[in-house]
Amino acid sequence: MAHRHAAAHPDPSPDRQHTFVPATTSTIATQINVNDPDDKMGGIDYLRLDKNRDKAYAFDLAFDESISQQDVYEKASATLRHVIDGVLRGTNACCFAYGATGSGKTYTMTGVPGQPGVIPLTVAGLFEAIDASKTRVVVRLQYVEIYNEVVKDLLDPSDKITLDVREDPRQGTFVAGAASLVVGSREAVEDMLARGNQFRTTSATGCNEVSSRSHAVLQLRLETEKEGGAKAIGKLALIDLAGSERATKTDNRGQRLNEGANINRSLLALANCINALVQGGGPGAGRGRGHAHVPYRDSKLTRLLKDSLGGKSTTCIITNVSPASDQFEETINTLKYANRAKNIKT
């Protein structure tokens, strides 16, 4: 499992202090130091028990905001290649970016024109691996968003249709009724993503002008032909999560507030699943001592990711944090979440 602090808040205003520094810059850093900014909360700090909250967090890799998209991908390519090879051999994998609203998740995962992010770069790596394998591999793609606990097909976004997450012993978890298209090249996947992204639910919030209000899930299902005609079926889920947020920070009202509640609900469900998996939850959960029940059913997101998070699967978590001092609480919460998640063993 890899955890990365990737792209951070792009342009902290000059009066904001940086709350963290990757511990080294010349080589690949693996540690993030977070310093409690001095006068945060106007000096009213009495609620805290631990007065000195300067902390260091260790991950597989840590980057600051000056890193290029290509370098993020290349430095993490050993992990992502492991993910790709596993999927070709028939295991499941997922990769998602987690972090506060405006911290750079969409930038890191999807990218911007001319600077593709982890999703298009991983898809390119996947098709290179397929070509190199000289085996027949059929790739099927689904691209959906989960908005306010409603699943919508981004490739056929009709408001009338509410889709459901189903589980099937052969297919694993999937969105019933969503288009499942065979794709033969990275370009075909990029076309589908560009088409789907036009329909993603975004809006302006106090923290981000173009805030993703939904979780976008790209699922690629690979059928790799093995010797003797058998097939290895692996699945790769690449996800751009909506931002975790606090209503007071984002100054959200009405619909935005309701969205925020639903976003936080599924992120909480994801966090609870991760906690349970850390405690040894899994297929045998509940049957013996020490096995925690994994509450996949608590949200659409975790239901869909059930077979990519637990069991025979690899999870790559990218954690985005902002260097701005007014995001200190979010930064600490995000890093704690990632720190816990790195202990999952499935």
105 is in an annotated binding site: yes
**Please, which residue, 87 or 317, has the CB nearer to ligand ATP?**
317
Q: 179 to each of 182, 219, 230, 301, how far by Cα in Å? A: 10, 11, 25, 18
Distance between CA atoms of residues 306 and 273, nearest Å: 9
* 114 appears as a binding residue in the annotation: no
Question: What CA–CA distance (Å, rounded) separates 196 from 333?
Answer: 31
Q: Is 237 annotated as a binding residue?
A: no
**Cβ 65 to ligand ATP, closest distance in Å?**
5
Q: How far is the CB of 205 from ligand ATP (least distance, A)?
A: 6
**CA–CA dist 106, 33 (Å, integer):** 24
Name the residue with the smallest CB distance to ligand ATP.
243
The smaller minimum CB distance to ligand ATP, of residues 242 and 309, is found at: 242
In 3D, which of 237, 236, 256 has the Cα closest to residue 246?
256
Tell me how far, at minimum, the Cβ of 113 lies from ligand ATP, in Å.
11
- Closer residue to ligand ATP in complex, CB, 139/316: 316
Is 125 annotated to bind a ligand? Reply is no
Q: Which is nearer to ligand ATP, 117 or 172 (CB)?
A: 117
User: Hunting for tokens 């906690």 — which residue is that?
Assistant: 275
Distances, alpha carbon 27 to alpha carbons 22, 30, 116, 266, in Å: 11, 9, 23, 36
Please give the residue ranges that form the binding site for ligand ATP (CB under 6 A). 7, 10, 65, 99, 101-107, 112, 208, 210-212, 242-243, 320
Residue 108 among known ligand-binding residues: no
- Cβ proximity to ligand ATP: between 5 and 235 the closer is 5
- Alpha-carbon distances of 334 from 102, 112, 123, rounded to whole Å: 13, 24, 27
Phi, psi dihedrals of residue 228, rounded to the nearest 5°: 80, 10
Asked whether residue 91 is marked as a ligand-binding residue, the answer is no
172: three-class secondary structure by DSSP: strand
Instruction: Please state whether beta strands 20-22 and 29-34 pair in parallel, antiparallel, or not at all (unpaired).
Output: antiparallel
Helix/strand/coil percent split, the chain, to 5: 35, 30, 35
Residue 107 contacts residue 117 (beta carbons within 8 Å) = yes
Q: Cα(123)–Cα(126) distance, rounded to whole angstroms? A: 5
Is 106 a known ligand-binding residue?
yes
Residue placing its CB nearer to ligand ATP in the complex, 313 or 334: 334
Closest separation in Å from C-beta 155 to ligand ATP: 21
> Residue 228, annotated ligand binder?
no
Binding residues for ATP: 99-106
